[in-house]
Structure 1
């Protein structure tokens, strides 16, 4: 992430004309009406523009170029996703503005000899021919296989699963945490290894894509055998821009393999829209109403291209992404959104010595409603492990050995009153085994969450596991240049590694274990994977120790 100011280049002539010729008040009125029409989330009604149905025999190229995915496993339900795009790098995906019938199958076995459920769904052009199928009435705690068919075309096979029944004593759960996959910074090699890994579910903690331009060589991928279209060599601003960028990412074979192998639980950070935005405040000094139109475009494209359920459908520039999942009595997952509702960064953002503003109780990272939802959920939780998948570093992270030290205004260090309320809420709810999962910073960290971060002897309240990036930051290093400074300035920091990769976390009845998986390079393909470090934390005794 950067705090460098940029002026986005708008490629939609109508938007440029509106910004140029319409006053702010009238612009807000016009774009508000446009958003209500263009980003309505109800399924298209009969008689709408999509009423015509495409004869599947007219699809002469593979429509499943973006693969398949599943997400948000529930005890009796799975969510299946695909998007039809015979020409993924074209704005229309290679299909006319007509609806397409997509058949799906869910089976107990990989050869589809024992079918559990089957049906048909409609891929609407209004949703860019994406399909979200919520399959219910399934047995809990079971593995399933799924596929889609359009005409004679059959998708690759995906593997998914349901969660255990509420209240059941699940013995264990293995999850992977991933984040930050800048296409232009390298190959998604870590996803190829993750696809072969034995995990139950993958948590994506944000920055699924980046808004920055990708040149014809794919940036650091340095393609010599292919040339990317010029339409990717611009910043994403419009709905078409974001849709095309998802197409670019999802054609990557390693990302496709990971999605096909495991169900994903996704949440965003900033780059799915714009770097370091905060609520309705953009990074740059564009009119807020113009930014909200951009945010609406980004949010709609995000929902269209992710395995998300109906409650997450956006409405204009708003989308409720925070939600709660359970794994029997073993784990409760409170998935947060720390971008959409936050107060603007204090002190102009960046790395700063904290001033009074960071302790202002009126400032919030989550917004009041989401904060209340989180704390209320903890009060009723009966889970052994309470896990919070979210975006930015929760624990204190000093950048200097000298005092006062700089900290990140974009992380929870810039919202200390908000962090204090969360920790106090966990204390009031009697949460003993708190684990925070984090992305964003392109390195792997393991933190003890302290009651008072400035007092190493204070009580440990939980653990924070920070997943490094898939590619962002390029190859990285095992010990970045600031390794000694960070390890000295932050006694609660137990591990710091700057390579790319992901984290495996196994939650058990007695302990949790975190294995930091890294690859030595991403600027060329084919890197091996190693375990850089492993840590455990005992149930009822928060704090990390080497495994």
Structure 2
């Protein structure tokens, strides 16, 4: 595992040069920073068999407008090596950090060797960034014996410390899957605890609700200054997706929670998705109309095919008033869907052509549809912001799982702020299973054990529920998949213990979860 290198903060005389930047070696030598420019860390992601994307963003005062940077492009050097000391450099170059993209840098590194661990870093103004590590994917069609990946997300900055991220880094996964809610667009002006009484928050966002591009940039800067999160980024490559809170709670397509006109909400969505791109190690750039669509397919040799759909950008409006609701006619209306036609075709073709031992679907919201009624409620209650609000779409998805080659399908999900181990059932037959990863911090230490107990009692396909913070570490082999649900004792105290709360396993050719 890579050790996080924390550079010392450095105050240099003279400040930023006032003359216009000319991006030459001579001009770069004259670039003086008043503070360390890589305070938001580095990251890698979107791995392929011959490369990956490496990311950083230059800042001087991260929470100030434009990050305290001049409104001019700045040249940044980058290096990739096979050793942490950078004695064996295999690729290097220079990229411009443009003010139009918050001085972020996305380098698409290619022509590397498959299944190889590489180290990368950036240099600007004579200063080096932290060193990150990332492993390229195996060659197409190659034999792979094992994959280990962590499912992480739902990391409300104000609700706790990111202790789980450092633990995930220490587990040395092959990659991390971020299922969304990297930032939260709201904050609690008067936070309360589980008893409803006021509490002192662990920490605070530096601004109120973001509406502009600059607001969202500061939200990411708040978040990325956390050292445990930076440690998780330098440990391995990430596959990043977004869900709702990167924009606004429970948005769907061009429909927002507040009922604002679509021609107004589109401006906020455009700003939010640009900021997401500016701060993630992703290859897909925003289109001219502000669309950033991350759906992609990834093969790990012949062992597993990963399908990453986008369940937020194209979905229909949530039915029945959204959130936890009883059933209504709107939930069953024709056209109520989670994906658009293009994504359905892409997903179905990906399953149809798969010859891998496993098909794995890491996505944003829960596929299983449990009855969520609390004790004393007489009618079933469903989460309308999950696949539970789109039962016809869920049935179409399960039909696809039922016809999957090899019959081995695993779904990996977040969003719920709870751990779930569930089977996915179609016509009384288990066609897949789902690991739902709890939040890194969201909901803090508050637990709703009564509702969890009611869900276990009312849904026989839900095998286990846990209401702590943490993440799921999944190991995939030809024989099966094992989900290790790692939980934090508390997120209100730094460096609290992290341990395995439970393990659930799925055997090849034998549908249904069993204790691991």
Provide TM-score, normalisation by structure 1.
0.85
1:528 maps onto 2:497 in alignment: yes
Match of residue 42 from structure 1:
none
Maintained 8 Å contact 1:215/1:233:
no
Residues of 1 paired with 2:200 and 2:364: CA distance? 25
Gaps of 5+ in 1: 1-49, 453-457
1:509 to 454, 471, 478: 478
Which residue of the partner structure matches residue 468 of structure 1? 438
1:144 is paired with a residue whose SS is strand
What does residue 286 of structure 2 align with? 313
Counterpart CA distance in 1 for 2:351 and 2:464 is 28
Q: Does 1:327 align with 2:300?
A: yes
Name the count of aligned residue pairs. Answer: 484
Question: Could you tell me how far 1:431 is from its partner in structure 2?
Answer: 5.5
Q: Given the alignment, which residue of 153, 157, 163 partners 2:137?
A: 163
The equivalent residue for 1:99 is: 73
Aligned to 2:17: none
Contact 2:32 2:125 (C-alpha < 8 Å) held by counterparts: no
Select 1:260's aligned residue among 210, 223, 234. 234
> 2: CA distance between counterparts of 1:272 and 1:373?
25
- Give the drift of 1:220: 5.5
Query: Which of 214, 219, 224 lines up with 1:245 in the alignment?
Result: 219
The equivalent of 1:4 in structure 2 is none
Residues 286-324 of structure 1, C-alpha deviations (whole Å, 9 max, x = no match): 221110000000010000100001x34343232221111
Residues 274-423 of structure 1: pairs in structure 2 closer than 5 A: 274-309=248-283, 311-400=284-373, 404-423=379-398
Partner Cα distance (1:194, 1:52) in 2: 42
Deviation for aligned residue 1:351: 1.8
Mapped to 1, the partners of 2:235 and 2:241 lie a distance apart of: 19
CA apart distance, 1:404: 3.8
What's the CA shift for 1:252?
0.6
> For the residues of structure 1 that align with 2:132 and 2:323, how far apart are their CA atoms?
41
Corresponding residue number in structure 1 for 2:453: 484
Partner SS for 1:542: strand
Is the deviation greater in 422-431 or in 498-507?
A: 422-431
Q: Summarize the alignment of residues 71-82 of structure 1 with structure 2, pairs less than 5 Å apart.
A: 71-82=45-56
How do 1:101-250 residues align onto structure 2 when only pairs under 5 Å count?
101-213=75-187, 221-222=201-202, 232-250=206-224
Please report how far the alpha carbon of residue 272 of structure 1 lies from its aligned counterpart in structure 2 after TM superposition: 0.2
Structure 1 residue runs of 4 or more that deviate by more than 3 Å after TM superposition: 50-56, 213-217, 219-223, 311-315, 401-404, 428-431
Find out whether 1:449 has 2:418 as its counterpart: no
SS of 2:67's equivalent? coil
Whether the 8 Å contact between 2:320 and 2:326 is mirrored in structure 1 is no
Q: Summarize the Cα distance change of 1:134–1:214 in structure 2 as closer, same or farther, 3 Å threshold.
A: farther
Q: Deviations over 1:136-167 (max 9, x none)?
A: 11110011111110021100110111000111
Structure 1 pair 366/170, CA: closer, same or farther in 2 (3 Å)?
Answer: same
Q: Is the 8 A contact 1:443 1:469 kept in 2?
A: yes
Partners of 1:119 and 1:220 in 2: CA distance: 47
Provide the residue aligned with 1:31 in structure 2. Answer: none
CA deviations on 1:457-494 (whole Å, 9 max, x unpaired) are: x21111100000000000134x7122221111111111
Query: Deviation string for 1:204-236 (max 9, x for gaps)?
Result: 00101000137799x96545xxxx78xx33101
Counterpart CA distance in 1 for 2:290 and 2:47 is: 26
CA distance in 1, matches of 2:228, 2:246: 20
Q: Which residue of 2 aligns with 1:436?
A: 411
Q: Post-superposition shift, 1:427?
A: 2.9
SS in 2 for 1:93: helix
1:90/1:498 CA distance change after superposition, 3 Å: same
* Mapped partners of 1:371, 1:297: distance in 2: 27
Worse-superposed segment, 299-308 or 431-440: 431-440
Shift of 1:408: 1.0
Residue 88 of structure 1 deviates from its aligned partner by 0.5
Q: Is the 8 A contact 1:378 1:431 kept in 2?
A: no
What displacement does 1:51 show? 7.6
- 1:419, 1:85 → 2: CA distance? 44
SS in 2 for 1:302: helix
* 8 A contact 1:184–1:220 mirrored in 2: no
Q: Give 3-state SS (helix, strand or coil) of 2:313's partner.
A: coil
Aligned-partner SS, 1:194: helix
